[in-house]
Structure 1
Amino acid sequence: MHDEMRDGTGAVRPLWAGLAGVLDGAGPDGLAARRADTRRLLADDGVAYHPPGAETEQLWELDPLPLIIDGAEWAGLERGVAQRAELFDRLLRDLYGPRSVITRGLLPVEVVDGHPGYLHAWRRPAGAPARRELFLSAVDLGRSPDGWVVLDDRVQAPSGAGYAMANRRVVARVLSALHRRSGIRRLGPFFEAMRTGLRGGRDPEDQRVVLLNPGPDSETAYEQALLSALLGVPLVLGSELTVREGRLWQHTLGRLDPVDVVLRRLDAEWCDPLDLRPDSRLGVPGLVETARLGTVSVLNGLGAGVAENPGLVPFLPALCRALLGEELLLPGTPTWWCGDPRAFAHVRARLDELVLTPVVRGGQAVRGAGLSAAQREDLLARIAAEPHAWAAQREPVLSTAPTITDAGAADRPVALRTFTVASGTGWEVLDGGLGSVPAGTLLRDGVATPAKDVWVVGERAEPTGRPVFGTDEAVPAPAPGGVSPRVAEDLFWLGRYSERAEDTARLLRAVTDRWADFQSTPDPAGANALRALLTATTATTRTAPGFGPLLADAHRVAPDGPAAISAELRSLLRDRDRAGTLGFAVHRLTRAAQAVRELLSTDTWLVLGRLDAVLADITTEDASDGLNRVLEGLLALAGIAAESLVRDAGWRLLDAGRRIERAQHVVALLRATLCDAPRGPADRLVVESVTIAAESVITHRRRNAGRPGVAPLLALLLTDGENPRAVAYQLARLTDDLAHLPGTVPEALDAAVRALAEADLVAVTARDSASGTRPALRALLTGLGADLDRLADEIAAAHFAPVRGPRPYDPLVAVAS
């Protein structure tokens, strides 16, 4: 077994001397601190992975100790992985064109046609020019005692390059001194090459590229968003694209934008329900046909999945000689395709030494050594029934490198995923990659974790890749043409939930402070005010029955009320599954942010991660302090949105969402507190609490010290166009935001503006002599609330009308209809 850091005598290799010094100097506590710093930075950057079937994302796992490779050794690997990319591109062009490798006997037809990754719908019509099939490829490598070997090929929709960049950003801070003095090659040029390659061979002046992905719940949603940001291309869902008149278009607000290139992170079978998988709701009906017509390029080609078949591995050396005229530079793991009778006989005789795996990715690998006699016979019978669907591999013994574990530094097996992209100057190989500490040694089921940063040390040699798209110079990517309805809606709700969380936090801070002041006081005014505020909190947050059943009468809480009220307050603070709570608002805010991650500053995740941590620890006993910290984070988030986002249509909708939510909150708060407010001192305490919750207490005191009535408060919070907390201010901002969007001004906005302009704030404060309530004020606020609700609906109808996703095609249903 090869040790990456030490030679056969146990001496540290010169390349690893710096890291060895870090390990020796840190000790167990220092290593634990580096590990903790790594996790904190990953959380601050929002680096996440969404395991299949999990409800939420989990923190990406990264070992802070890098895998270090000498630049001279890397040059050989670089040539090998570039050659492999060229080989697979040539092979795929042939398999979807003349299929000469099959007719010449270089490749059994069963290896191709018997694999579900081979898409007959992707075949080129006779006479059609060859198209690029491979743009981005990945190769999993491991160092065995005999040298570097290929563990797996990733050409369907390779993942991991974005995570490699995320790893570098974190490790560069955790090991900052070592990183600065080690002469590590940069990762940035690879992504620059991707940007060039995506527009290569076509007119760059009007090229529009999109990144097609499965959605925010996909396993690598974080990485897809990071790639979108690094490449400067919009992240789109299949439902946001449409085929019309033989072209692919993207839905944006008020128009359709043509699409020239699709970089896909969606597996091929899901990409087109017409020609591929009919039950797919993730793809674009007609995408295959537009690619056939040549009006759009799909990268990687939709048929690339067949090249991930391990049954190809035994044939690659001969294919390389035939297609490239070269010997294969990087050997694969010794592999036997069971469709070959001689290979199957070898597998049968050596089953104890091999790992059996279905050729379809995701199939469960079986170690022959762990089988009983009965299990061996059962497995061999399954293979004999469909031998073309199985391959056997000799499991390699991987080299080891130091990794931080719970017990300190220990040697663990390591593997490496390399990345190659077709750019304007040839095949560009990422100087580094995604290192991993695999649980096993066969990486057939996705990116293994924990991950490692990969440092290639030494000056870069001159590029030796083959020209692919010619020598056109890179052209900066044009600005995105618009915001899709889905992104617009997510931004709108991002604004709404951020404001809802802030408003709820302010209200709960005011209420918990009053609860601490008056829960056990004999003061009737305080008890009445507290009861009014608790009732208003339930109404404002729409969490009925809430506090209602816990209040016995107008002067006291029920005998068992304090504990129950405290529990209800705790629920309002932390329960993320209950609509109306602070926890729910923050959770939905995070989900909305994840859906548009590619548009947001990385500082956003620094704020959101800390919000979750604060909410997890908050209690009713220290609610005020915890809510202050929540508000600090939410105010920081508001500042990021205000100062870091371009004032495009997306930002206008984000701001509109915030303005609608703030106006609705103010109206609901006033309706819940003032319409049925108690008289006398309790009324004044309620008014003061309202001004605190509405962030207007100082202004109210300064302006109305001699006029403590309700009318001045209404003027401040309803009609004062200079008060950023007033409804009139929100309506003015909404008018401006919506004026920058396509379409007409919603009728509900005009209605709300008129209602405020015509309101007599003195008259509406009058109480009914019999009930003591303020019916005119209730009518005004109820009408305003209805207008604001209708305004939100009108904005949604105008800008977020969902694009109808494809329905499964059933010929029988089609005929019947």
Structure 2
Amino acid sequence: MIPAPYDEMRDAAGTVRAPWTGLAGVLDGAGPAGLLARRADTLRLLADDGVAYHPPGAESEQLWELDPLPLVLDGAEWAGLERGVAQRAELLDRLLADLYGPRATITRGLLPVEVVDGHPGYLHGWRRPAGAPPRRELFLSGADLGRSPDGWTVLGDRVQAPSGAGYAMANRRVVARVLSALHRRSRIRRLGPFFEAVRAGLQAGRDDRRIVLLHPGPDSETAYEQALLSSLLGLPLVLGSELTVRDGRLWQHSLGRLDPVDVVLRRLDADWCDPLDLRPDSRLGVPGLLEAARLGTVTVLNGLGAGVAENPGLQPFLPALCRALLDEDLLLPSVPTWWCGDPASLAHVRAHLGELVLTPVAPGRAPVRGADLDPAARAALLARIEAEPHAWAAQREVVLSTAPVVTDAGAEPRAVTLRTFAVASGEGWEVLDGGLGAVPTAGLDDGVATLAKDVWVVGERADRAAPGVQDEVLGAARPTGVSPRVAEDLFWLGRYAERAEDTARLLRAVTDRWADFRTSPEPAGAGALRALLAATSEITRTTPGFAALPADEDPGPELHSLLYDRNRPGALGFAVHRLTRAAQAVREQLSTDTWLVLGRLDTVLQRLAAAPEPDTGDVSEALNRVLEGLLALAGITAESLVRDDGWRLLDAGRRVERAQHVVALLAATLCDAPRGPADRLVVESVTIVAESVITHRRRNAGRPGIAPLLELLLADRDNPRAVAHQLDRLADDLAHLPGAVPASFDAAVARLAGADPAALAVRDTADGTRPALRALLAGLGADLDRLAEDVAAAHFAPRPGPHAYDPLLGAS
């Protein structure tokens, strides 16, 4: 008979447990409608904060899923769990030190050699030579816990590159706002001290250590968390391609120099870390990293061989190992486990196959519930197990405890698990007060939860003093370089931000003209609309575009495509999508307010795309909201980022893009033959798109003609929209970057300096075009294209070739 699950919130008599009293009051007072409102608030705040998760195989990130109701644990009970988690981390660290050193646990018969050497996580090249100084193999340790009717048990260990601590912090930030009143009056333990302990442990008492956070890339499963950890810990987030080993030492590529690296905190599974000694097909690691770590010139945390400790086949041997290595009894038991390489255990598995969960020892292979199989499938599974028994472990299925979760019907009980975290601190371990709660899809969850929970440990710790501020002697600040990869992403962030803004202004002006003149009999208006539509296709480089449409065909579908098609280069949706992708790649460099803006931009365009037939009013309103967001983003990047090399490249990208847009706008509208009465409306639209209409009217009320407009948009160094102003800003940005100023920049400056607006405005007597203006703009456009290429050649890293990529990397 299967026992009833433990209820975290209520005892057997149905009485609310003391730590849950406050939350029970919220549940009673809110009712189903109030709970659904809190769930909606949670989703909104997650979107505003940009909290995301990239499911394996998905095209893009999706919003992190978080239940607004926390899992509440009593502080006194937590003290016992804390001791057990710290003991387990110490045990696994000692075990790893032995397995990569004397291997006494194997020679003494405490551990079968097949459990170790037969596991793919055991790195034979990581063995420590005899007489080498001891090293700590674990720095961060994770353990997945579940409460069965018999008490807390360890479902699995996460020591390869444990993920989730950053998500725990993100959960807390959101739930603290959703349940703000309850959060304020509850004595909930803070999460911050744990991350302070991580920082202190990485520095190891030295302030001159250069530490980096190695990750798989912006498309990895937990890319958001990696960026958040980079921000919380103050560490540069690096890819393997940004590191190099020279003369046995690890270095980081920065603009114009190499910086030595002393410590690597890795979020990359070990076998991907070094294509020379480990996986030869990996383009994610650093050639020679294993050798540098073996020499001791760099410390890799967790140790590159830590993955063997995640082997479920170790679980039956841990009680004896704990007594042998720590002279203590194991405080937190594991799930009852049978390693099939042991004949007696295999016999038990054979007799009870339908009652067990069969788990492959090798990582990345899904467990199988014997109860889900028919007799033929069980026989086939047993045959596989008996063919390679050392590669399988069997575990008893755990009846997990339940806690309230918000559903469409209100609060309902669901099974929960808890991922805990410990960090090495001096001779001991600091345990995160709480962790990552999860509502798993199965009893033994082996991945990131489909629904997360904040975890509240209620009751102050008596043994923790509040952190204070220490006086320090100021010395020379360590240089914080920008890697070529980050430089490139920031440059394109600036370009796509400006491209989106310019495109939105252009489409808004065209939409307004379309609303005015698409059904108007006025010839000037109709002519201006045709000219602007054709110019739009040229400026956005989506030709033939509107020009290919028959005169009697509705241009609405083409205009709508330019608004929200994220797969069409030149469209506003494409620019916003690429802007978001660039921001995701450098998330750790940006203010958290950035995601408040970017999330709403995408929402506006998605809603517009979902509308069956949006009218011009809907389109204009959407464009206004997009522009509001892009202006807010411009303000954030201008006022929140330090003027380092990264910001200089971001600004340079914006300046190049704005100059190119003005050049393209003028070329597409002012160089052709006269359009008669439509010209006035076209020129007015140009000033509107260039955000210079008021200045143009005020300055040139008595000076009709094109020359004043060209002076304003090309040569006026005080006009923030003029090409000359962009070149001035570029001069300042390029002067602060390492290396020489590109010759293409000097060419653009010289070309513009020699331009005479009055001469450029003159039309050819034969065909009425402006050949001098067209030639100047063509030359400026080519100069700006070359300038962008020269900046890329000088400062950006070459793109790596295609490589095998596992989206689960670093998501243990």
Deviations 1:155-189 (A, max 9, x none): 00000000000000000000000000110000000
Aligned residue type for 2:659: A
The answer for unaligned runs of 5 or more in structure 2 is 466-471, 609-613, 805-812
Partner of 1:632: 628
Question: How far apart, in 1, do the equivalents of 2:473 and 2:322 lie?
Answer: 31
Partner of 1:596: 586
Q: Percent identity between the aligned chains?
A: 80
Is structure 2 residue 744 aligned with structure 1 residue 743?
Answer: no
Helix, strand or coil for the counterpart of 1:482?
coil
Is structure 2 residue 749 aligned with structure 1 residue 759?
Answer: no
> Relative to 1, partners in 2 of residues 1:675 and 1:803: Cα closer, same or farther, differing over 3 Å?
closer
Aligned residue type for 1:462: D
Question: How far apart, in 2, do the equivalents of 1:677 and 1:194 lie?
Answer: 68
> Relative to 1, partners in 2 of residues 1:513 and 1:806: Cα closer, same or farther, differing over 3 Å?
closer
Is structure 2 residue 558 aligned with structure 1 residue 537?
Answer: no
Q: Which of 559, 562, 569 is the equivalent residue of 1:569?
A: 559
Helix, strand or coil for the counterpart of 2:740?
coil
Question: How far apart, in 1, do the equivalents of 2:578 and 2:151 lie?
Answer: 50
Aligned residue type for 1:355: V
Question: How far apart, in 1, do the equivalents of 2:704 and 2:662 lie?
Answer: 19
Cα displacement (A) at 1:679: 3.8
Contact 1:284–1:806 (Cα < 8 Å) also in 2: no
Partner of 1:814: none
Question: How far apart, in 1, do the equivalents of 2:400 and 2:144 lie?
Answer: 12
Aligned residue type for 1:535: A
Question: How far apart, in 2, do the equivalents of 1:677 and 1:752 lie?
Answer: 26
Aligned residue type for 1:387: P
Q: Which of 289, 299, 302 is the equivalent residue of 1:300?
A: 302
Contact 2:673–2:767 (Cα < 8 Å) also in 1: no
Contact 2:435–2:455 (Cα < 8 Å) also in 1: yes
Q: Which of 26, 31, 39 is the equivalent residue of 1:35?
A: 39
Contact 2:760–2:770 (Cα < 8 Å) also in 1: yes
Partner of 2:154: 150
Helix, strand or coil for the counterpart of 1:411?
strand
Partner of 1:611: 601
Q: How many residues align?
A: 789
Aligned residue type for 1:455: W
Is structure 2 residue 22 aligned with structure 1 residue 18?
Answer: yes
* Correspondence list, 1:228-627, <5 A: 228-424=230-426, 426-444=428-446, 446-462=447-463, 481-550=480-549, 558-559=551-552, 561-562=553-554, 565-618=555-608, 619-621=614-616, 622-627=618-623
Deviations 1:109-137 (A, max 9, x none): 00000100001111112222121110001
Q: Which of 648, 651, 671 is the equivalent residue of 2:647?
A: 651
Cα displacement (A) at 1:529: 1.1
Partner of 1:668: 664
> Relative to 1, partners in 2 of residues 1:546 and 1:476: Cα closer, same or farther, differing over 3 Å?
farther
Helix, strand or coil for the counterpart of 2:672?
coil
The answer for unaligned runs of 5 or more in structure 1 is 465-472, 552-557, 809-817
Helix, strand or coil for the counterpart of 2:757?
coil
Aligned residue type for 1:538: S
Contact 1:500–1:585 (Cα < 8 Å) also in 2: yes
Q: Which of 83, 98, 104 is the equivalent residue of 1:79?
A: 83
Aligned residue type for 2:434: G
Cα displacement (A) at 1:617: 2.2
Aligned residue type for 1:745: V
Cα displacement (A) at 1:677: 5.0
Cα displacement (A) at 1:681: 2.2
> Relative to 1, partners in 2 of residues 1:176 and 1:477: Cα closer, same or farther, differing over 3 Å?
farther
TM-score, normalised by the number of residues in structure 1: 0.95
Contact 1:424–1:474 (Cα < 8 Å) also in 2: no
Deviations 1:595-649 (A, max 9, x none): 0001111110000111011111233522111111100000000000000000000
> Relative to 1, partners in 2 of residues 1:730 and 1:771: Cα closer, same or farther, differing over 3 Å?
same
Partner of 2:469: none
Aligned residue type for 1:575: D
Moved more, 10-19 or 729-738: 10-19
Contact 1:311–1:337 (Cα < 8 Å) also in 2: yes
Cα displacement (A) at 1:706: 1.2
Aligned residue type for 1:574: Y
Partner of 2:723: 727
Question: How far apart, in 1, do the equivalents of 2:515 and 2:148 lie?
Answer: 67
* Correspondence list, 1:42-53, <5 A: 42-53=46-57
Cα displacement (A) at 1:374: 1.4
Question: How far apart, in 2, do the equivalents of 1:659 and 1:375 lie?
Answer: 64
* Correspondence list, 1:192-203, <5 A: 192-200=196-204
Helix, strand or coil for the counterpart of 2:545?
coil
Helix, strand or coil for the counterpart of 2:67?
strand
Contact 2:527–2:675 (Cα < 8 Å) also in 1: no
Aligned residue type for 1:548: A
Partner of 2:785: 789
Question: How far apart, in 2, do the equivalents of 1:223 and 1:389 lie?
Answer: 32
Moved more, 419-428 or 47-56: 419-428
Partner of 1:68: 72
Question: How far apart, in 2, do the equivalents of 1:345 and 1:400 lie?
Answer: 33
Deviations 1:134-161 (A, max 9, x none): 0001000011111100011000000000
Contact 1:711–1:765 (Cα < 8 Å) also in 2: yes
Q: Which of 34, 41, 56 is the equivalent residue of 2:60?
A: 56
Question: How far apart, in 1, do the equivalents of 2:678 and 2:384 lie?
Answer: 80
Partner of 2:102: 98
> Relative to 1, partners in 2 of residues 1:806 and 1:241: Cα closer, same or farther, differing over 3 Å?
farther
Contact 1:320–1:327 (Cα < 8 Å) also in 2: yes
Aligned residue type for 2:542: T
Is structure 2 residue 78 aligned with structure 1 residue 88?
Answer: no
Cα displacement (A) at 1:463: 6.5
Q: Which of 702, 707, 720 is the equivalent residue of 1:706?
A: 702
Question: How far apart, in 2, do the equivalents of 1:754 and 1:669 lie?
Answer: 21
Helix, strand or coil for the counterpart of 1:249?
strand
Question: How far apart, in 1, do the equivalents of 2:477 and 2:98 lie?
Answer: 34
Helix, strand or coil for the counterpart of 1:153?
strand
Moved more, 663-672 or 523-532: 523-532
Helix, strand or coil for the counterpart of 1:186?
coil
Contact 1:566–1:620 (Cα < 8 Å) also in 2: no
Moved more, 637-646 or 375-384: 375-384
Contact 2:422–2:430 (Cα < 8 Å) also in 1: yes
Moved more, 422-431 or 306-315: 422-431
Helix, strand or coil for the counterpart of 1:12?
coil
Partner of 2:713: 717
Helix, strand or coil for the counterpart of 1:547?
helix
Q: Which of 220, 223, 234 is the equivalent residue of 1:221?
A: 223
Deviating above 4 A after TM superposition, structure 1's stretches of 4 or more consecutive aligned residues are 473-480, 803-808
Question: How far apart, in 2, do the equivalents of 1:457 and 1:655 lie?
Answer: 47
> Relative to 1, partners in 2 of residues 1:205 and 1:21: Cα closer, same or farther, differing over 3 Å?
closer
Cα displacement (A) at 1:475: 12
Q: Which of 162, 165, 173 is the equivalent residue of 1:161?
A: 165
Question: How far apart, in 2, do the equivalents of 1:73 and 1:537 lie?
Answer: 66
Partner of 1:696: 692
Contact 1:156–1:308 (Cα < 8 Å) also in 2: yes
User: Please, what is the CA RMSD of the aligned residues?
Assistant: 1.7
